[in-house]
Amino acid sequence: MSDENTNGVAPSGPAFTVEKIYAKDVSFEAPNAPAIFSETLQPELQINLNQRVQRLNDNAYEVVLKVTLTCKAGERTAYVAEVDQAGIFGLVGLEAGTVDALLGTQCPNILFPYARNMLSNLIQDGGFPPFFLQPINFDALYAETLRQRAEEGGAQATTQESGHA
């Protein structure tokens, strides 16, 4: 990746750009098909959401939003659909706190519709009724992450203080 954005124009000040959006990993399993199609049990859904950030260079980051959806019918797994939706984002001339906030909120907000669409298509193409993943408030998740960091930082400071006594 170059230090320029995809339009070939170097930013003249602080900038946040979307360089690339892509599917990094996609998986669909229906381990109990075709027998599961005749089950009349109420399905139970479990959603797991993760985010990874990797710094590629001074101004570019890869953000991967991983969404795993597991559907069970009773004790049997109907399907597991998993999407790692990724993007490369340019962040130039921004303070560290702003970069952290953009990586934790705006980047997953940009990636989420792509992941939701891919999951929906995987599930329907797998022979199951469509599933529409509801919107996720990444701002609230990021705020919770900041709260947890502050608590952990406070706990570490307390431990360090008591260790010096």
Domains and CATH numbers, the chain: 15-156 (3.10.420.10)
> What would the DSSP string read from start to end of 19-41?
EEEEEEEEEEE-TTTTGGGG--S
Among candidate residues 145, 144, 124, the one with its CA nearest the CA of residue 133: 124
With the C-alpha atoms ordered 157, 158, 162, 165, is the resulting torsion angle positive or negative?
positive
Q: What is the pLDDT of residues 71-118, one digit of tens each?
A: 998 889 999 999 999 999 999 999 999 999 999 999 999 999 999 999
* Beta strand residue intervals within 100-152, DSSP E: none
The answer to whether the Cα torsion of 109, 23, 2, 61 is positive or negative is: positive
What does pTM read for this prediction? 0.81
Q: 122-145 pLDDT, tens per residue? A: 999 999 988 889 999 999 999 998
